[in-house]
Amino acid sequence: MAQMTPWLWGDDMKHFVVTTMLVVAVGIIGMVIPAHAQSFPTRQITLVVPFPPGGSTDIAARIMAERMRTPLGQTVVIENIGGAGGSIAVGRVARAAPDGYTFDIGQWDTHVGSIIYKLDYDLQKDFEPIGLVSQNPQLMLARTTLPADNLKDLVTWMKANPGKINFVNQNAAANVSGVLFENLSGQKVQFIPYRGAGPAMTDLMAGTVDLVVAQGGVALPQVRAGKIKALANLSPKRSAAMPDIPTSDESGVQGLYMSGWFAFWAPRGTPKAIIARLNAAMMEALADPNVKARFEELGLDVAPRDLQTPEGLAQFQKAEIDKWWPIIKNANIGATAQ
């Protein structure tokens, strides 16, 4: 009977066996993970919307969920969870199992501006980016009787009438837009807290407030009807959904950018192969002419192709955080201001 070589006895033998088992285990895991991701999904998926039904976030989510059903081969159901500026819903996703069956549609307020709340999750560490869905132009709006048709005229009028312009801050995005306008124009506004864009738009049409920043899709019907004025699109370039409205640069205040957006995030730890599967379904939906047409009706622009990737969204969110968090903190903007 053959005898085992002496150097394999004792501790050396144990080390050899353990090492061999680890190598085999790693090989098995390497085979299992791709197989698991390849079979994903095997049941319905939940897309969490951080606001009540009926708003632009909800409508955009339903458009995407409907179209993503085809490439995924499973139903994507919508779960609306409102409250605390969307942070309750985002927290639910942060705590969900990282298996690809729960993800959210986030935006500036939920994945950048929500630092005004006390969060029990980390916006930068607790999520896996899937991709940027759309860019949603924000408009600087004015009452029709305000003697200014663009930002240049507005600043000129404010210099001649200091302290007479009020500015509605119905959410964090509107609030920081007003602060940025003050910084860039050198003029001061009187902030008026409102609870929601609906009441703010009603009072703007009635002429009882002066300025509101709101998503283009929400404001465009009133602008087209002549009930309010659009002074500028707060984006670096004009929107395909509203090409006749000039950018803030063209209107007279350089660098006044506050472009809203929608994006998809999954819980931290979701396997990259599953993220890739969700991203592929998202990108296929965004390439559909019918989806693009429905987005334009909402005043949304499909995100540029390079920002539709997980890497593109990660870089985009970082740039937004680097720009806006110092402004929010320096202006001491908190949840009580909303």
Same fold, 44-136+260-337 and 138-251: yes
Q: Is 142 helix (H, G, I), strand (E, B) or coil?
A: strand
Q: Is the pLDDT of residue 270 over 50?
A: yes
Which pLDDT score, from 0 to 100, does residue 35 have?
56
Average pLDDT, stretch 263-269?
98
Produce one character per residue of 120-157: b if its CB has 16 or more CB atoms within 10 Å, e if not: ebebeebbbbbbbbbbbbbbbbbbeebebebbbbbbee
Report the alpha-carbon distance of residue 225 to residue 222 in Å, rounded: 5
Which pLDDT score, from 0 to 100, does residue 36 have?
58
Report the alpha-carbon distance of residue 195 to residue 198 in Å, rounded: 8
Query: Which residues touch 244 (CB under 8 Å, ≥6 apart)?
Result: none
Q: Are 126 and 46 in contact (CB under 8 A)?
A: no
Q: How many residues does this entry show for the chain?
A: 338
How would residue 169 be classed by pLDDT, with cut points 50, 70 and 90?
confident
Q: Is the pLDDT of residue 8 over 50?
A: no
Q: Is the pLDDT of residue 338 over 70?
A: no
Is the CATH number of domain 138-251 3.40.640.10? no
The secondary structure of 279-334 as a DSSP string is HHHHHHHHT-HHHHHHHHHTT-EEPPGGGSSHHHHHHHHHHHHHHHHHHHHHTT--
Choose between 241 and 33: higher pLDDT.
241
Kindly tell me the sign of the dihedral angle through the C-alpha atoms of 51, 55, 56, 58.
Answer: positive
Tokens of 212: 């509101």
Please give the single-letter amino acid code of residue 272.
Answer: K
Average pLDDT, stretch 141-165?
97
Report the alpha-carbon distance of residue 293 to residue 226 in Å, rounded: 24
How would residue 218 be classed by pLDDT, with cut points 50, 70 and 90?
confident
Which pLDDT score, from 0 to 100, does residue 196 have?
75
Which pLDDT score, from 0 to 100, does residue 30 have?
46
Report the alpha-carbon distance of residue 114 to residue 91 in Å, rounded: 11
Tokens of 74: 């499973």
Domain boundaries, the chain: 44-136+260-337, 138-251
The CATH number assigned to the domain with range 44-136+260-337 reads 3.40.190.150
How would residue 43 be classed by pLDDT, with cut points 50, 70 and 90?
very high
Tokens of 26: 């790693």
Instruction: Express as a percent the part of the chain with pLDDT over 90.
Output: 72
Report the alpha-carbon distance of residue 156 to residue 185 in Å, rounded: 10
Average pLDDT, stretch 129-146?
96
Q: Is the pLDDT of residue 42 over 90?
A: yes
Which pLDDT score, from 0 to 100, does residue 257 have?
94
